[in-house]
Amino acid sequence: MSPDKASDARNIDLGPGKEFDIVRILLSEWGKSAQRIGDDAAIVEVPRGEKLVITTDTSVDGVHFRHEWLNHFEIGYRATAAALSDLAAMAARPLGIVIALTLPEADRVEARALATGIREGASAVLCPIVGGDLSSGKILSLTITALGSVAQPLSRAGAKAGQRVYVTGSLGGPAAAVRAWQAGKEPTERDRARFANPVPRIEPAVGLAQRGATSAIDISDGLIADLGHVAAASNVCIEIDVDRIPHVDGVSSLQAANSGEEYEIVATAPAIDTEAFAAEFGLALTEIGRVVAGSSGVELMKDGKKISAPPGFDHFRDK
């Protein structure tokens, strides 16, 4: 949407009622980020020649985050960024998000902080909030549906033998933050920020597609687990050089390889000038392996030899 159109967008007046009072709080925090909320359904325009890309992502207290770990701003921000990251994985740009929010009585005093986090997560990638639904309930939960568009989406099924494997950013921070919390400690600011305030890699993913990438996935389950999805969908073998995996200080390559909730992008592509990419997007891009023909799966390599892979991240695993 053009800036002109965005400034024309009006939210429709809401009626009286307790539920609408909370909606009014949300809307006042969202300000111009909220567009045309209040009608029965949202209307978005898809640029001519592009495909509509839709993804939905649920964040539930006790499963995807913990109250003791994150404040409400961070809960809202992180849920929004996680949903938008799935658009990045397809190299799509966002058109809008709709939010289904279950807000227990105890969390109502934090509605404003939650709304601010959602707004910041969306505005980090210039995404408007176009609709939502509010319910009471026992557990805080945000289901965010993100709408985007792209002419030629990237898919998990597009990896081809002969390509190289690239990953954005530096891995391991979120896992380090979770390990600290589990040990009853406060994570470092850096690790906490990597967990609580990830930035969806929308423009870098578009840049990868423009440079010939044919497959991509965002790292929500862990690098190895997510590359396993690409290998299976593409029916190829993906070899990863463990020592080339970019990781934050204080985290081993294998810990980084198994760190979930990263929201970085891993893609397969022909050779890319990683320095020029980093200069354009202000984000590291690292070549970490290659796509080869053979039985589908991921092989971890160290000093030219195969080593066994760690298990992937599991949302339902005891933490």
The footprint of Mg ion (CB under 5 A) covers 86, 89, 218, 220
> By C-beta, is 23 or 87 nearer to Mg ion?
87
Contact (CB, 8 A) for 44 and 34: no
Q: Do residues 74 and 197 touch, judged by C-beta distance below 8 A?
A: yes
CA-nearest of 236, 254, 232 to 245 is: 254
How far is it, in rounded angstroms, from Cα 56 to Cα 74? 19
Write the DSSP symbol of residue 168.
E
Minimum CB distance to Mg ion smaller for 79 or for 111: 79
Cβ nearer to Mg ion, comparing 60 with 278: 60
Distances in Å between the alpha carbon of 143 and those of 81, 126, 138, 202, 219?
12, 19, 15, 20, 19
* Shortest spacing between CB 90 and Mg ion, in angstroms: 9
- Residue in 70, 96, 102 with CA at minimum distance from that of residue 83: 96
Q: Smallest distance from the beta carbon of 106 to Mg ion, in angstroms?
A: 31
Q: Which is nearer to Mg ion, 218 or 299 (CB)?
A: 218
SS3 21: helix
Burial of 51 (0-12, 13-18, 19+ CB in 10 A): middle
Smallest gap from residue 125 Cβ to Mg ion (A): 15
Residue closer to Mg ion by CB (options 179, 229) is 229
Least distance CB 229 / Mg ion (angstroms):
9
CB 266, min distance to Mg ion, A? 11
According to DSSP H, which parts of the chain are helical?
Answer: 3-8, 18-30, 72-88, 111-123, 173-182, 189-196, 202-210, 223-234, 253-257, 274-281
What kind and span of H or E run contains 128?
none
CB 124 → Mg ion: shortest distance, Å?
A: 17
Looking at the Cβ atoms of 89 and 237, the one nearer to Mg ion is: 89
Report the nearest approach of Mg ion to the CB of residue 184 (Å): 30
